[in-house]
Structure 1
């Protein structure tokens, strides 16, 4: 009877579930869902709850995004690791930058490729100013608010120095939280000047090891076989795919039948989301 069970349930070999976390964090449109806690919680629960698991391996490939979603995913990984008493191995693919690196810090060990991009411990925000354009084409801006700061950083109004100062204050608070998290997770492993480490700069995988942001060069298969033996099982835990998402492919993941009728109306939003995501990846050469 035991032979009829899947290999990972027989106890013949150690099991290390593998989870892939990829994409911009928190940027969501109906057709292009970004990475969020709601989107990954289920697969994390399944991975950490897998019978016989000796550890959990997470592949991270993200240029960052929402600091809130990044932090929540980080926290959920650490909570599950503590509850299940399982070590977490992080494997950086192309990039673990900004919020992507925040998630990577949830690993007990961080492995990367020599050419991976790692770091970018900082906060960035941007906008455009259109007030000159609308004046040139004869459009008058009419805005009605209750609350003196409600229209802060409106792109159709001249930039207000007080608004910029307030934004920088918010960014400073988020940056400080990020720095504290990295220090708490990496601890004595960190090397180098803090002004450099926390400047928002990013480095190759090898340089990130020198700075203590990563632990070693290594790929998932080689590292896990070295740690747990050649017979280690590495089942990939992925989101279940329904019929519709299977037909539409990755771009349609998360789209429901109710949302199909709105697809045309969301086209401009989808385009802007794609451009924004492309710009985030482009900051790191991808």
Structure 2
């Protein structure tokens, strides 16, 4: 296969991952009776169980010990585990608290924030088009802050936590699914202890008649819903050019935004439309520049 040409199966797997992420608000909405903290704790626990079981079946029981024998890598994955758990927690809370639109804004901003992180911390250089895209996104956030009246802290915290997570995973030399498994093992112990404390205190409801068996099943399956798109994504990025993945990733926040407005009935008036418009124009500039740069590299390789 020529460089820059996506594998068809990888392309559809990537689309599947982003569609699952985009439709997640519907799933968390089914669990709206469960406190957001408990949803996140169950999500961490069952994701850890699922991924660890899969890795053990595939690589044997030594997969975790091999990583722990490298203290620097283990510390990086512990930090990335905390960041992704915080990201999960804020996202689930935002969905069930009626902030789906603002949560989608965070994932629209994230690619541009990654560019800015690359400049500030990794000494990367931006093209003129990338500087324009970052400036447009900044204008959109500033507009939303001054005209809509509320600082978009949910969006910025979601983008910031996921952006820092991406930086750590960029330098953590480990395969994607194994890295996910190790991250979750670091989170598993605190999550189990916290959830046990809640259950023993009488504020939980797992395996009881408080929420019902259907809710218990949904909580368990939330772990699979966390792991499956990440595994899909890890499969796809090895077979699809990153420039294509960069464009496809906007499927997720676009679906979230549509759900927020059309299904959850959240406000999306002119002030929000203008702010989002600045960000979307910035994303269009960013995506177009990325695709054109990828095409130039392909032409140069074929010359």
Structure 2 length as normaliser, TM-score? Answer: 0.23
Higher normalized contact order (CA 8 Å, seq sep 6+, divided by chain length): 2
Q: TM-score, normalised by structure 1?
A: 0.24
Higher share of residues assigned strand = 1
Q: From the two aligned structures, give the one with the greater helix fraction.
A: 2
Q: Which is greater in Rg?
A: 1
